[in-house]
Structure 1
Amino acid sequence: MSKRVQLLLRAARAYSEAGAHAEAARCYDALGWRWTAADAYHRAGDLEHAAETYRRSGHPDRAARCFRLLGLPDRAARCWQEVGSPLEAGWELLVADRTEAAAPLLADAARTPPTAPGPSLRLRLAGALYRRIADRGGPGRAVGPEPLTALLAEVERGILTVSSRTERLRLLEWGVEAADRIDRFDLSAALFGAAHRPRRDQSGARTEVLEQWQDWAARRLGGTAWLPGPGATPVAG
């Protein structure tokens, strides 16, 4: 390890311990430790630098999330397009009510539909939400949420059959977004409950699900007292 690397590491750690995360991020960036740098930029609240650094480090999901928080759906979508993921790119635009821009991306994704259960359900969710948003704006047309509610029930039943932890969490996020769009917070809560049920390979994911559930309940329902505690098993129902 060169003297320069040692000094940069020492400086980065000192800055981190002092809570100077932006300065720590610049040190990590100079070292080429892009993931660590992006994480430090995020902790510093510099979402734009965090997004670009996540993107350069090959994590489009983290980059897109930062751009979404910045209110930049086009840049969020571009992160996914750069890695050949039109479904995720279309979703970023769809949830920002950019239906016209989302349409060709979702159509591209539908040309070669995924066969894995998680992405397949997400493609169907995107299509159902797109139709509801697009049709709702048509003259004299009112489309009810019934097709979407039926699909959300299917997502609830199938979420724990998805083997990939990352895919389960992404499916949960999309399902909750769709349920919230039709003001069916009961369905959103049911999705969280399903994702929080025990699974042998997801103890860490259950903690993450519970944290997201608590954040959602505080924002949407104004409280979290009714949620399960850490380690608790939700009652199926």
Structure 2
Amino acid sequence: MNRRTRLLLKAARCYSEAQAHTEAARCYDLLGWQWSAADAYQRAGELEHAARTYRQAGHPEQAARCYRLLGRPELAARCWQERGRRLEAAWELLLAGDIPSARGLLAVASRDPGSGVGKGPQMLRLQLARALADRLGGGPAGPLLDLFPRVEARLPTLAARTERRLTLDWGVEAADRVERYDWGARLFRAAYDGQGGGDVLNRWREWATDRLGSAAWLPSGPPVESAPDGVGGP
């Protein structure tokens, strides 16, 4: 690490400690550390700048989230499409209420062998998206409600962190849209009880406070990992 890099890193850390996140982001930009820069821009509340930087860094999920908060679903969808992720792009449009465009992308994603939605958890998310589109289009809630037990059973088995987060987010969002907060809570519990479950605890608390008015009943910390057979026993 050369002297310039050390000084920029030191400056970025000092700015971060002083809550001067924009200045910290500029230091990370000069270093070429796009992920750190985008994260700092987001903490500074500069969502558009954060979104552009996340996008350049190849992190469509974070970029799309920023554009969603900015009320720009078309840009959120584009972030995913640039990565060939039509299923996720369709979901962004669906949440924004553009049901015809979302359905069109879902149809394309289901036919595209390179999209990965023909099997595994991606297929479950495709089914969630289709059922939610039908419900938002005036259809019955039954087909969507029938999927929640499958999502609940699948969440603890997902080893890939990104897929686990997407499956949880989509399931909870769908449950919120039909005001089934009991299912939202069950899906959070299923993800919490699975591998790496402690990662969802803060989001679960935020959701419970917002939807249910309290998070006092939630676990106080990460789940306790079970010991292997014969370890820790008498």
Q: TM-score, normalised by structure 1?
A: 0.88
% of aligned pairs identical? 55
- Paired residues for 1:141-156 under 5 Å: 143-156=139-152
In structure 1, stretches of 5+ residues that fail to align are 137-142
- Paired residues for 1:183-194 under 5 Å: 183-194=179-190
Give the direction of change, closer, same or farther, for the CA distance of 1:7–1:163 in structure 2 (3 Å limit).
closer
- Paired residues for 1:158-173 under 5 Å: 158-173=154-169
Q: 1:220 aligns to what?
A: 211
Query: How far, CA to CA, are the matches of 2:212 and 2:145 in structure 1?
Result: 20
Q: 1:140 aligns to what?
A: none
Q: Which amino acid aligns with 1:214?
A: R
1:82-127: CA deviation from partner (whole Å, max 9, x where unpaired): 0100000000010111112212211111113624421111011011
What's the CA shift for 1:162? 2.1
- Paired residues for 1:1-237 under 5 Å: 1-112=1-112, 114-134=117-137, 136=138, 143-199=139-195, 202=196, 206-232=197-223
Contact between 1:118 and 1:159, CA under 8 Å: does it hold in 2? Answer: no
What's the CA shift for 1:13? 2.2
Give the direction of change, closer, same or farther, for the CA distance of 1:187–1:33 in structure 2 (3 Å limit).
same
Contact between 1:117 and 1:162, CA under 8 Å: does it hold in 2? Answer: no
Query: How far, CA to CA, are the matches of 1:216 and 1:35 in structure 2?
Result: 26
- Stretch deviating more after TM superposition (99-108 or 18-27): 99-108
What's the CA shift for 1:198? 4.2
Contact between 2:134 and 2:140, CA under 8 Å: does it hold in 1? Answer: no
Contact between 2:155 and 2:167, CA under 8 Å: does it hold in 1? Answer: yes
Give the direction of change, closer, same or farther, for the CA distance of 1:146–1:44 in structure 2 (3 Å limit).
same
Q: TM-score, normalised by structure 2?
A: 0.89
> What CA RMSD, in Å, does the superposition of the two structures yield over aligned residues?
1.6
Q: 2:232 aligns to what?
A: none
1:54-91: CA deviation from partner (whole Å, max 9, x where unpaired): 11001001111111111111110010010100000000
Q: Which amino acid aligns with 2:193?
A: R
Give the direction of change, closer, same or farther, for the CA distance of 1:172–1:6 in structure 2 (3 Å limit).
same
Q: 1:139 aligns to what?
A: none
Q: Name the SS for the 1:94 alignment partner.
A: helix
What's the CA shift for 1:144? 2.2
Q: Which amino acid aligns with 2:174?
A: A
Contact between 2:48 and 2:66, CA under 8 Å: does it hold in 1? Answer: yes
What's the CA shift for 1:197? 0.9
Query: How far, CA to CA, are the matches of 1:7 and 1:161 in structure 2?
Result: 44
Q: Which amino acid aligns with 1:126?
A: A
